[in-house]
Every structure is written in C-alpha cells, then in structure tokens.
Amino acid sequence: MAWRGWAQRGWGCGRAWAPPAGGRSCEELTAALAPPRLLGRRFNFFIQQKCGFRKAPRKVEPRRSDSGTTGETYKRSALIPPVEETVFYPSPYPIRTLIKPLFFTVGFTGCAFGSAAIWQYESLKSRVQSYFDGIKADWLDSIRPQKEGDFRKEINKWWNNLSDGQRTVTGIIAANVFVFCLWRVPSLQRTMIRYFTSNPASKVLCSPMLLSTFSHFSLFHMAANMYVLWSFSSSIVNILGQEQFMAVYLSAGVISNFVSYVCKVATGRYGPSLGASGAIMTVLAAVCTKIPEGRLAIIFLPMFTFTAGNALKAIIAMDTAGMILGWKFFDHAAHLGGALFGIWYITYGHELIWKNREPLVKIWHEMRTNGPKKGGGSK
C-alpha cells in the first residue's frame, strides 16, 4: 500500500534495513519509537492523514435554486437579476408544465374582462353623483379663503390637467416603481426571483405570469417601458376606454408570458424573464393597428419619423427573427405574443368579447337592484 511504503521510508524501515531474524518487525519498531504524546487516538489520526488516507473531494452538485428544476446555467442579459449561479431543472415532461399556465391564462383573462365590465357599470352609476359633488366642491372653493402655495392644491391642479389615459397609467407606473425598489432590498432577492420573474422551469408558474409584468431589475429597462406606456396612454384609453384598457393590459401581460413559456419549452432555452414589455407591445400594436397612418419617432432621434404601420411591421419582423435565432437580450417571444394579441383584439377581440358583456352586466344589475331581501312581518 502507498501509505505503508511512505511510513517505512520515513522511519528508516525500507529494503536497505532488514530486521534480524526473530527481531521486531518494522511496525513494532514504529510503535515503540513513537513519542508518548502521539500515542492513542490522536496518533492514529495523525498517521492516517500523513500516510495518505485523505478524504476524497466532495463532488460539487448543482445548487437547486428557488426558480426550479435542471439544465444549464442561464446566461442572462443586463435587464434581468444576477442569477448566473442559478441552475434550472426542467421537468422530464415539459408539455405538462404548460397545462396550469394555460388554465391560468384563460381564467385570468375572463376574470379581467368581467371585472372591467362591472367596473364600467359602477362608474356609469356614480357619474351623476360625482357631477353634483363637483358642483358642491366648486361652490365651497369659491367661498373658502384660498391658501397661497398650498401643496395639495398644486397636486390637484396637476392631476386634473392630465388626460384620462395618463391618470389611468399613473397607478401602473407607481406599481412598477414600487417593485423596482423591492429589488434593491438584499433580503428579498430570493422572493423576488421566485415570484417576480417568469420561468417555465420554476416551481411557481402562475402568479409570476402577472407579477413579472410589474417587475423591472434595470432602471433603464423600467424607464424605457414606462415612457412608451405614458406616450401611448392617451391614445389607447381614447380607443378602448379606461376599464377596457385595464382588462386588455393585464390580460396582455399574462398572455405574453404564456407565449414565452411555450417558446422556452419548445426550444429548451429556460431562463427567467421580467418586465412590462409584453403588455406594452399589446398597447403599441393596438394603437398602430387602429391608426396605421399616425406618425411616430424615436426618442433620441426625433428628426426621423415613420408611420405607425411600418413601425409595427418592423417590430414584428425583429422579434420573429430574435425568437427563431435565439437572441437572449430580450424575450422576443413575449414581445411577439403581446403584439399579436394587440392586433387580434383591435381587429376581432373587441367585437367578440367587449360587445358581448351585456349578459354579465344584467346579472350584476339584478344582483345590485334586488340585493339581499330583509326579513320582516307583514303590515
């Protein structure tokens, strides 16, 4: 054995030295010459380490992350969280992982449009009361002494000067800013990766399809998306209305993530995605489809203008090429899914979904009109 040859050489017990017949063996001499302080268990441990009985190096196993289940380490772009060390473990039956997201997409879309129809009904009922409340407020302001430099008054003035679309997307922008701040908290990193990034290899599949629509890790990514949303907010709300716009926007975020899931499962390129780009592509595509002759410009190159129809064609061509060629800087499948949903909804979806909301509104109206009947005796 290797350790024994070392011990013999170390203590002078090699072939050059042979004990006389009947004398002590090499092992006995080794034990006899050992210092007393090395005897016992500590001595045995020392000899075992020195003689080559070393613990075999532990094989490094892939660390199972919060995001899910194996594969190769995902190479991220600068727009997603630092998860280079995260290893994904795809399911051996990848098609099955799409069943729950599919039902979630269909169910959430139906709930979004149903809630929007009820919201519009309640808004119509409250407009008359709001009108009289506004008259009363104006009368009180006329007799109330005005305060100069009142901060609240300035905020109200700024808010009232916004268009309906800008007021609608202000809440969406605030939610995105809040989630962006949560990404800066180190103790929340694992939770944010689990619930605010969408990935078909993750253990949590459904809720991130919605939550990741409000999630941005890069400041530039969030600023660019929110700028585009703010720019198109007035046009899209004028076309769809406030309630229908919210239903379309939220549904677009979930649908675009589902298209991304399908593409990742089909190609085996798993990895986290986040951002409002899919939903914003729906808004952009809807406006460009409705107003194809509108003039658009790039923010940093305002001297170059082009029609909305040509811009939409270029975006679809670029995202199609990126999805086929496997470009990883953007989630091109989510962008393409959002754009196609926007085109379909403006062309067919509005007629098929929104204009057939009356049965639901009637049921809600009857529930509100009749209400729970109070019990009582006859008079």
What does the pLDDT profile of the chain (379 residues) look like in tens digits?
444 444 444 444 444 444 554 555 555 545 555 555 444 444 443 434 444 445 555 544 444 444 443 344 445 555 666 654 444 455 566 788 899 999 999 999 999 999 999 999 888 888 767 766 666 555 555 555 555 557 777 888 888 888 889 999 999 999 999 999 999 999 999 999 999 999 998 889 999 999 999 999 989 999 999 999 999 999 999 999 999 999 999 999 999 999 999 999 988 888 889 999 999 999 999 999 999 988 887 777 777 888 889 999 999 999 999 888 878 778 899 999 999 999 999 999 999 999 889 899 899 988 888 865 555 444 4
Task: List, in order, residues 6 or more apart from 288 with CB less than 8 Å away.
Answer: 294, 296, 308, 309, 311, 312
Look at residue 316 and tell me if it is in a domain.
yes
pTM exceeds 0.85 for this model? no
Element (H, E) at 177: helix 164-183
The answer as to whether 292 is a domain residue is: yes
In eight-state DSSP terms, residue 345 is: I
Distance CA 69, CA 73 (A): 12
The structural domain count of the chain equals 1
CB 274 within 8 A of CB 212: yes
Please name the amino acid found at residue 118: I
How far is C-alpha 355 from the geometric centre of its chain's CA atoms?
32
Residue type, 18: A
CATH of residue 254? 1.20.1540.10
d(CA 296, CA 309) in angstroms, rounded, equals 10
Domain annotation covers residue 85: no
Torsion of CA 316, 318, 324, 327, to 10 degrees: -130
243 domain residue, yes or no: yes
List, as one string, the DSSP characters of 198-262.
Answer: B-TTSS--SHHHHHGGG--SSHHHHHHHHHHHHHHHHHHHHHH-HHHHHHHHHHHHHHHHHHHHH
**Which pLDDT belongs to residue 13?**
45
> Three-state SS for 148?
coil
Q: What is the pLDDT of residues 264-313, one digit of tens each?
A: 998 888 888 999 999 999 999 999 999 998 888 777 777 788 888 999 99
Q: Is position 2 within any domain?
A: no
List the one residue out of 348, 346, 330 whose CA is nearest residue 288. Answer: 346
**Whole-number Å distance between alpha carbons of 217 and 259:** 21
Range of the domain at 298: 95-136+176-370
CA 301 to chain CA mean position, Å: 30
Region of 144 on the Ramachandran plot (φ > 0 left; ψ -120 to 50 alpha; else beta):
beta
d(CA 323, CA 110): 28
Query: 3-class DSSP state for residue 112?
Result: helix
Using DSSP's 3-state secondary structure scheme, residue 103 falls into helix
In sequence order, what are the beta bridge partners of 198? 273
Beta carbons within 10 angstroms of residue 17's beta carbon: 11
- Residue 217 forms part of a structural domain: yes
Residue 1 lies in a domain: no
Among residues 336, 325, 313, 282, the alpha carbon closest in space to that of 109 is found at 282
Active-site residues: which are they? 277, 335
In-domain check, residue 286? yes
